[in-house]
Amino acid sequence: MSALLPLVPYLERRDRLAAVLDRRAVFDDVVERSVRTILADVRQRGDAALLDLTERFDGVRPDALAVPSDALEQALNDLDPALRTTFEEAASNVRRFHEAEMPESWTSDDGDGVTLGQRISPVERAGLYVPAGTAPLPSSVIMNAVPAQVAGVDEIHVCSPPGPDGLPHPLVLATCRLLGIEDVYAVGGAQAVGALAFGTETVPRVDVVVGPGNAYVATAKKLVVGQVGIDSVAGPSEVVVLADADADPTYAAADLLAQAEHDVRASAVLVTPSAALAEAVVAEVDRLVATLPRADVLRQSLPAYGAAIVTETMDEAVACVDELAPEHLVILSDEADLLWSCIRHAGAVFLGHDSPEPVGDYFAGPNHVLPTGGTARFASALGVGVFLRRQSVVRYSATRLRQTGEAIARFAEAEHLDAHALAVRVRLGDETRVDPVTATAASE
Ligand X SMILES: NC(=O)c1ccc[n+]([C@@H]2O[C@H](COP(=O)([O-])OP(=O)(O)OC[C@H]3O[C@@H](n4cnc5c(N)ncnc54)[C@H](O)[C@@H]3O)[C@@H](O)[C@H]2O)c1
Ligand Y SMILES: N[C@H](CO)Cc1c[nH]c[nH+]1
Nearer to ligand X, 387 or 396 (CB): 387
- Shortest reach from residue 222's CB to ligand Y, in Å: 17
140 labeled part of a ligand binding site: no
Q: What are phi and psi of 106, to 5 degrees?
A: -150, 155
The site string for Zn ion over 361-380 (x = CB under 5 A, - otherwise) reads: x-------------------
Angle at 119 between CA 113 and CA 124, to 5 degrees: 150
Q: Which stretch binds Zn ion (CB under 5 A): 48-56, 74-82, 183-191, 359-367?
A: 359-367
Name residue 289's amino acid.
V
CB-based closest residue to ligand X: 189
Residue 370 binds ligand X, judged by CB under 6 A: yes
Nearer to ligand Y, 137 or 196 (CB): 137
Among 161, 163, 360, 366, binds ligand X (CB under 6 A): 161
Which of the residues 200 through 219 are near ligand X (CB under 6 A)? 212-214, 216-217
Contact 186, 54 (CB under 8 A): yes
Sequence-distant (≥ 6) Cβ neighbours of residue 82 within 8 angstroms = none
- Give contact residues for ligand Y (rule: CB under 6 A): 137, 139-140, 212, 237, 259, 327, 361, 368
300 labeled part of a ligand binding site: no
Name residue 420's amino acid.
H
CA–CA gap between residue 328 and residue 175 (Å, rounded): 25
Residue 333 binds ligand X, judged by CB under 6 A: no
361 labeled part of a ligand binding site: yes
| Residue 214 binds which of ligand Y, ligand X, Zn ion, none (CB < 5-8 A, kind-dependent) | ligand X
Which of the residues 63 through 82 are near ligand X (CB under 6 A)? none
Contact 370, 376 (CB under 8 A): yes
Contact 211, 235 (CB under 8 A): no
Name residue 8's amino acid.
V
| Residue 131 binds which of ligand Y, Zn ion, ligand X, none (CB < 5-8 A, kind-dependent) | ligand X
Q: State how beta strands 125-129 and 208-210 pair.
A: parallel
H-helix or E-strand containing 298?
A: helix 295-305
Contact 132, 160 (CB under 8 A): yes
Nearer to ligand Y, 381 or 424 (CB): 381
By three-state DSSP, how is residue 240 classified?
A: strand
Which of the residues 310 through 349 are near Zn ion (CB under 5 A)? none
The site string for ligand X over 123-152 (x = CB under 6 A, - otherwise) reads: --------xxxxx-x--x------------
- Active-site positions read 327-328
Residue 267 binds ligand X, judged by CB under 6 A: no
- Shortest reach from residue 112's CB to ligand Y, in Å: 51
Sequence-distant (≥ 6) Cβ neighbours of residue 273 within 8 angstroms = 244, 245, 310, 311, 312, 313, 314, 316, 317
H-helix or E-strand containing 33?
A: helix 29-45
Nearer to ligand X, 192 or 409 (CB): 192
Of 223, 161, 220, residue with least CA distance to 193? 220
Residue 368 binds ligand X, judged by CB under 6 A: yes
77 labeled part of a ligand binding site: no
- Shortest reach from residue 327's CB to ligand Y, in Å: 6
Beta-bridge partners for 180 = none
Q: State how beta strands 106-109 and 115-122 pair.
A: antiparallel
191 labeled part of a ligand binding site: yes
Nearer to ligand X, 59 or 68 (CB): 59
Contact 327, 371 (CB under 8 A): yes
- Shortest reach from residue 259's CB to Zn ion, in Å: 6
**Binding residue ranges for NAD(+):** 129, 191, 214
> Which stretches of the chain bind Zn ion, using CB under 5 A?
361
